[in-house]
Structure 1
Amino acid sequence: MWSKRQAFSFLFVSLVFSLSFVLFPPFPRFDYDFEQFFPQDDEDLGFYQSYAQQFGEDNDYLLLAFENQGKEPWETDFLNRFQLLQREIEKLENVDTTLSVLNLKQPRISPFGIRLVPVVSIGQEPQKVNRLDFPLMDKFISKDGKALLLLVRNLKNISKEEGDILYGQILEKISESKLDLRAVAGKIQTQRDFVELMQAEFSFFLGLSLLTMLIMLILLFRSWWGVLIPIFVLGIGVVWGFGVILWLGKPLALMSVMQPTIFLIVGLGALVHLFSHLKQNLEKGFSVQQAIHRTFKHLLIPIGLTMLTTAFGFLSLWFTSVPALKDFGLTTGIGIFMMFLAVILITPGLLFLIRIPSFKNSSNSSKVWRLNRLFLGLLQYRKSVIWIFLGLSVLSIGLGAKVRINGFLLDNLPSNHPIRADFEYFDQQFGGSNPLEIAIWTPSEEGNIFDYAVLEEIQKIENKLQEIFEGVSLISPLTIAKVLNQAQNQGNREAFRFPSKGQYLRMEKILNSNPSQFVPSIYNPENRLARISGRLPDLGSLKMGEIRSSFQEFVDGEIDPEVLRVKWTGTAYLIDRGHESVTLQMARGLGVAFLLVGVIAGILFRSWRISLILLIPNIIPLLMMLAAMYLMDIELKLTTAILFSVAFGIAVDDSIHFMARLRTELASGRTYLYALKRTFLETGKALVLTTVILVLGFSLFLFSDFGVTFYTGLLIAMALLFALSADLLFLPLLLLPMKKVWESKVKKRFTNP
């Protein structure tokens, strides 16, 4: 195995596989879809999908705010250009409707019937603009009175590419209009800007990671072959990883920004182990061919297992119910596997192709002496060390229990990003940009959403929402009743209110006909299902969860379920539900990761007790990471909760290396204590080195503008340092009482091969 001929055969296979990417090139596609963060096993998702079939997606809109160069927007020239722009945008493909003050019409009821009067009429003179006192127009005028809102609703289910084209066309029309665009917010704009930032960060981290790897290799091996071969293998591994991912039709999503660095870090860790071991064999006097053979013979299984457990840490995310996390876990696991193939298929052949110089034996006596003193100290103070770790674990559990679960829509963007500024503008001037959707329906088939008793219940709901969200502007069936009540009173603003019984009777015939011409997309044709909709600021999933809980208590106590049923829904609600489910998602990911690693350890060591020992020192770093989150005021959300299973999958590698080496030492006939000491001295150096590499690699993410990338780097780097301390200080003490178990396992292995 691993002869020159076999190595060249593997190299040829690698060349053919690499050429396949040239002959059948995969095309990179970036995507960012809010819906990918909806938990798929949530029954609320099914309800919303049915609801959206009736009323459309609640986030298929673009908000455009225009100012008149600091002046009031009621000049005829500005309004004419604004109106022309609205008409031009409405002609664009994939635009459903547009809405502004200029196409709002107020109904007037007279003995001659109903007529619709434009709310804003543009005259010929510069300042000749007639405006009616219609409360609904307030939704389209900024609170400071300087800007007008144009709402563009796109067609349902347009693709990311179609959304990009549409947004580009809208910007082109705005540029031609010479209007001053003050702020913009909406799905197609946010998705495009997110993807552009992702593309920039993807390239940045790929280049930065390769540069960092190059510096590390120079410092570690100080030889041209010890630098160029790993860099070449790492580069090919990244190409293979992303090539296969793209061949599978998977787009590069938000968290794909981290994947180049993750693939490179994992691959570099394996190569450092291989090259360090190869160098040691050469220093011992083995020929190049013998050294290569011995290196891959001894390290293939440990390296394969460690990369496998790392991949399992990511693949465990497949068992969550959030598509974005499932795809990230699957694609990262695939990429790590492809990096493993690159390491074992390409590296031996390249080593045989070049001329490797001989090495003089180097001394590491000072490092060994330090580790020896540490090992003796552990034996002397083992009870104290065990109590310290137990105490830290209990403290970490206490602090970790206080970590808040909270998430915001724009969590991942930097605080100074223009999107944030635009969203804040809409929050301040137009009441928000996040959709508020509440479904209401009559429980009986004979019920009508415009029955007076039903409208009374809707009035209670709207009053409660006004109490919770001061100043929120709502649209509902009650709005139609208010509009008609005002229409019956010749447009008097004071009449825009809940109608009395007599006023209702005068408008009942109209309500039972087709009042959607006054306020569209509010109810279904059967008049049984309707919506209460509006826009809110992004208050975070924690605050909104408290609000929804309070609102549900109100509904249960005050709304008659025989008259009206009420359910909060919408995309913002589903995203919040995703954040609220982090405990479940984290438990699923960790549970699968624990199970997979436990099975691997059970097969490798053939003992459930040893498997348990392997897990214990790798649970402690996770608890300490949770405590660190509380101390640093980092909140739990979907994108931080997944880091626990990822950190576990990476951190457990050190424990596997430690215990695999212990088994090898025992198999060579050494006594248990001496084998444990030898393992500690020899493996300890490797653990420190690989941890330094991993921490430096993940620390690169601290340069990211994306919140998810930044916190991934920070938290996993911390978890790896915690894991190193647990593996060096706690794991040996846990293994001391396992003398009989280990010796029996080794004895059985060699007496019953």
Structure 2
Amino acid sequence: MGSLRTGRRERCGLGAVKGFVERYLTFVTANPVKVLIGSMVLAALLMAGMSQLTFRSDNRVFFADDNPELQQLERFEQLYGRDDNLIYVVKAREGDLFTPERLNAINEITDAAWALPDVKRVDSVTNFQRVRAVGDDIEIDHLARSGDSLTAAQARQLKADSVLEPLLIDRLLSRDGTLGLVVVQFSFQADTASAQSEVAMAAGQKTLDRFALQYPDLELGLSGSVALDHAFVEASTYDSSVLLPIMLVILLLIIVVALRSVVGAVATFLVIMLSTLCALGLSAMLGIPLSSPSVIAPNIILTLATCDCIHICAGMMRHRRSGLGRPEAVKMALLECWWPVTLTTLTTSIGFLTLSFSAVPPFAHLGIIVAIGSLMAWFLSVSFFPALLCVLPWRGKDSSVPAERFSGAVARIVLANPRRLLAGISAVAVVLCSLAFTNVLDDRYVRYFDQSFSFREATDRMNEDLGGFYILEFSLDSREEGGIATPQYLQEVDAFAGWLRQQPGVTHVHGLPDIMKTVNRAMQGGDANAYALPGNRDLAAQYLALYEMSLPFGTDLRNQLTADKRYSRLSVSLNDISTRDMTDLQARAEAWAADNTTLVAASARATGTSLLFAHIGNRNIQEMLQGIAMGVLVVWVIFLVAFRSLALSLIGTFANFIPCLATLGIWALINGEVGMAVATVASVTFGVVVDATIHMLCGFVRMRRDRGASSAEAVRATFESVGPGLVTMTLSLAAGFLCLAFSGFQINAWMGTMAALTIFVALLFDLFFMPAILLLLKPRQQGRGAVAMEAQ
């Protein structure tokens, strides 16, 4: 008796909700103009926030303030300053750089670099400070001073001399002399770094273009952190100004072709534009900035908004074709789609909000912006969209649309072979899911950009011939003021540097011992055997003071030593090694220092931007797995509450989780490497692919409820009513995300490719796997679900 009362209370409560929905839809269809005005006023208020929208282009947007590696790097920079640099990569097209004309070109580039805004230091092949013995004294001067006249023989001699300079070779000059660098250091403030970086990049590019025309025998390019930040801007501009319009046109064409409704396409266009602009405006009010990963939020929002409109539009076309007038057709379609569209909005928003678990702030921002956009799309789809279609002239086509014919053909296949389909798809899924775990984590941030970016070309050229874009930094503590001159300190740092030079992937190591050895050699008349550390502390301190006093303006050691002479910097340049190898080198270096040094062991902790990116991939995956697990649990609970059937909730969750895992298996066959974008894709696609499952399950249960149909009849009817919208929606989703595959920014390209692939795999599950299971379910289990939906 108590159970009966509970059931009645549930039916009464859900019946009240259904009654409210019917009254609301009656109001919308009876007062379309009022609804249009009201929704437009609300949209205008939200869009006003776009005036506060900001964009961050610096690479540190990828790291949260509490990121431990970022905090360590900031402590390092407090001692030695920020390394905001622009690197002119100069390569001889034929021969080497050691001709009078080419050395003069490097000098001209070096002089021009001093004129760039906010510059604080310029290091190049020609202004390298060479230490030479001159009688009983030493001379510190440029390798090739600007303005000096050189003969071809003198230039060749400079090449021979360069080989003897460990601080130059493999750092600013390749060993074969074909590639050299001009490294420009800037003085940027942390709060204005993005703006200063863009100004410096514009000036640097203008200088590069001038010299490229003047010296056609040299291959010139720009690398460095400033060029990297600008590449993020370039990628974002392309994605928003080129890919977004293309995606929009493709989505609208799919609607016109699949549903044959120009009016529906126009109404959908207005909904997706308003949804996107409202989401951006509200996000700006919340203080959320855009960045290269999050700038694709509008692309995703317009895709999701299209899906809601497609289902409603497909239903309206069907009811209009059956003879209903516009308002009646709109109301009936919304009554059918209300619960599926509402549930899909809820699950999609949850899927994207799981991105807030990401260790990478731009991905968290992306999730929040898209979740807001999804909610706005739902609101406009059940208010603005139906009201507009009550006003605009349109009618249903007399013949069936292509999507209807396709879904009918699929239904016949499923009804004829449910067991075979279930067995075959399950076997393939098991194989693909097992392959998912063979992917290798690698996140080289230079490869975030394809070869269309000049930054990528220049950096690849530098890494291939010289190395040095990826750098590990150490700040080694002598534990006392002036302690860097002690023999023990210098010997331990030198031994550490020697061990690092022997490690795979290391191209150069630069530290205080190298300077001291160079000065000592010069003080001993240039004897090669004297390339060794000074014998005592006083002598080392004198040599260091002499060296510092002899350095010209702009080449001092403030970026190498602290003012109290307690700490010195050890820089380790790497070639294009994987993030896995980089973190392995870090661990081995710190372990070696702990085992083989006493004075510097505690401070031998690597840092640098390269390490930040190396670690963020692992941390992002670990934290996103927690978010995904939470999202899967919440979606399962939503299914359980909505359908009040354990069987249906498990089917729905399983039919969406497995395609995500299977896609990673396919990716293992295609690529095999995943970075920090992979966990993001899992969250994005899990939220999106649930949509089709909900529409399929809701359609199936509705047919069981309304008609008391058998499983076969319910599946067939579901394909007839839901199939066209589901197929069209999936095509729109896949096409929308696939457009992102053409982004030059590889994080977005990988995300688009994997998302489109996941959506396609999920469609196969929704069209073949899930109906096959529903056909084989016991009637009692289906009935429980049907009763639950009947109450709604």
TM-score normalised by L of structure 2 = 0.84
Distance 1:22 1:563, change over 3 A: closer
Matched, 1:454 2:492: no
Q: Deviations over 1:303-344 (max 9, x none)?
A: 122133223222211111111211122222222333333323
* Letter of the structure 2 residue corresponding to residue 708 of structure 1: I
8 Å contact from structure 1 (residues 475, 522) kept in 2: no
SS of 2:576 mapped into structure 1: coil
Return the offset for 1:259: 3.3
Matched, 1:439 2:475: yes
SS of 1:184 mapped into structure 2: strand
* Matches of 2:579 and 2:401, distance apart in 1: 57
Counterpart of 2:167 in structure 1 is 136
SS of 2:440 mapped into structure 1: coil
* Matches of 1:350 and 1:250, distance apart in 2: 32
Select the residue among 428, 438, 453 that pairs with 1:417: 453
* Matches of 1:187 and 1:523, distance apart in 2: 22
Counterpart of 1:160 in structure 2 is 194
Counterpart of 1:149 in structure 2 is 181
SS of 1:286 mapped into structure 2: coil
Q: Deviations over 1:340-364 (max 9, x none)?
A: 3332332122112223346647599
8 Å contact from structure 2 (residues 358, 620) kept in 1: no
Q: Deviations over 1:27-71 (max 9, x none)?
A: 76544332233366653332222122112234x111124478968
Distance 1:401 1:360, change over 3 A: closer
SS of 2:230 mapped into structure 1: helix
* Matches of 1:358 and 1:463, distance apart in 2: 79
8 Å contact from structure 2 (residues 86, 226) kept in 1: yes
Distance 1:529 1:205, change over 3 A: same
Return the offset for 1:219: 1.3
SS of 1:568 mapped into structure 2: coil
Counterpart of 2:6 in structure 1 is none
Counterpart of 1:468 in structure 2 is 503
SS of 2:568 mapped into structure 1: strand
* Matches of 1:137 and 1:512, distance apart in 2: 19
Counterpart of 2:783 in structure 1 is 743
Counterpart of 2:121 in structure 1 is 97
Unmatched runs of 5 consecutive residues or more in structure 2: 1-23, 552-556
Cα RMSD for the two superposed structures: 3.6
* Matches of 2:149 and 2:409, distance apart in 1: 90
Return the offset for 1:153: 0.6
Counterpart of 1:723 in structure 2 is 762
SS of 1:290 mapped into structure 2: helix
Distance 1:561 1:337, change over 3 A: farther
Q: Deviations over 1:548-586 (max 9, x none)?
A: 344445345434478654212111011011123353144
* Letter of the structure 2 residue corresponding to residue 723 of structure 1: A
Select the residue among 680, 696, 703 that pairs with 1:665: 703
8 Å contact from structure 1 (residues 312, 649) kept in 2: yes
* Matches of 1:146 and 1:696, distance apart in 2: 46
Distance 1:122 1:699, change over 3 A: closer
Q: Deviations over 1:433-465 (max 9, x none)?
A: 2223133335x5689344322322222221222
Return the offset for 1:414: 2.0
Distance 1:665 1:94, change over 3 A: same
* Matches of 1:696 and 1:175, distance apart in 2: 38
SS of 2:222 mapped into structure 1: strand
* Matches of 2:643 and 2:70, distance apart in 1: 44
SS of 1:472 mapped into structure 2: strand
8 Å contact from structure 1 (residues 407, 636) kept in 2: yes
Select the residue among 194, 198, 213 that pairs with 2:232: 194
Matched, 1:206 2:231: no
* Matches of 1:18 and 1:486, distance apart in 2: 74
Distance 1:728 1:32, change over 3 A: same
SS of 1:507 mapped into structure 2: helix
* Letter of the structure 1 residue corresponding to residue 259 of structure 2: F
Counterpart of 2:12 in structure 1 is none
Counterpart of 1:38 in structure 2 is 63
* Letter of the structure 1 residue corresponding to residue 542 of structure 2: I
8 Å contact from structure 1 (residues 314, 649) kept in 2: yes
Q: Deviations over 1:251-283 (max 9, x none)?
A: 432234543432222222211111111122222
User: Which range is displaced more, 48-57 or 75-84?
Assistant: 75-84
8 Å contact from structure 2 (residues 174, 466) kept in 1: yes
Matched, 1:266 2:300: no
* Letter of the structure 2 residue corresponding to residue 391 of structure 1: A
* Matches of 2:436 and 2:674, distance apart in 1: 10
Counterpart of 1:408 in structure 2 is 444
| Match runs of 1:335-734 below 5 Å | 335-357=373-395, 360=398, 370-379=409-418, 381=419, 385-442=421-478, 448-469=483-504, 472-499=507-534, 503-505=535-537, 507-510=539-542, 519-560=557-598, 565-606=603-644, 610-668=648-706, 670=708, 673=711, 676-678=714-716, 680-682=718-720, 683-732=722-771, 734=773
8 Å contact from structure 1 (residues 516, 522) kept in 2: no
* Matches of 1:82 and 1:405, distance apart in 2: 39
Distance 1:372 1:396, change over 3 A: closer
* Letter of the structure 2 residue corresponding to residue 535 of structure 1: S
* Matches of 1:360 and 1:10, distance apart in 2: 30
User: Which range is displaced more, 317-326 or 575-584?
Assistant: 575-584
* Matches of 1:701 and 1:162, distance apart in 2: 29
8 Å contact from structure 2 (residues 317, 397) kept in 1: yes
Counterpart of 2:265 in structure 1 is 227
| Match runs of 1:43-192 below 5 Å | 43-58=68-83, 60-66=84-90, 83=107, 86-87=110-111, 89-101=113-125, 103-106=127-130, 116-121=140-145, 125-127=149-151, 134-138=165-169, 139-146=171-178, 148-156=180-188, 157=190, 158-173=192-207, 182-192=220-230
TM-score normalised by L of structure 1 = 0.87
Return the offset for 1:531: 2.4
* Matches of 1:320 and 1:236, distance apart in 2: 28
Q: Deviations over 1:667-721 (max 9, x none)?
A: 4361563674356434344433322332233332343333233323322222122
Distance 1:15 1:456, change over 3 A: same
Aligned length: 744
8 Å contact from structure 1 (residues 622, 719) kept in 2: yes
* Matches of 2:457 and 2:118, distance apart in 1: 27
* Matches of 1:366 and 1:512, distance apart in 2: 84
8 Å contact from structure 1 (residues 699, 713) kept in 2: yes
Return the offset for 1:291: 1.6
Q: Deviations over 1:475-519 (max 9, x none)?
A: 2232233233224313444433345xxx33562443797976674
Q: Deviations over 1:528-556 (max 9, x none)?
A: 43321143223221332343344445345
8 Å contact from structure 1 (residues 406, 580) kept in 2: no
Return the offset for 1:289: 1.8
Counterpart of 1:318 in structure 2 is 356
Return the offset for 1:88: 5.2
* Letter of the structure 1 residue corresponding to residue 167 of structure 2: L
* Matches of 1:520 and 1:174, distance apart in 2: 28
* Matches of 1:229 and 1:562, distance apart in 2: 68
* Matches of 2:477 and 2:743, distance apart in 1: 46
Counterpart of 2:15 in structure 1 is none
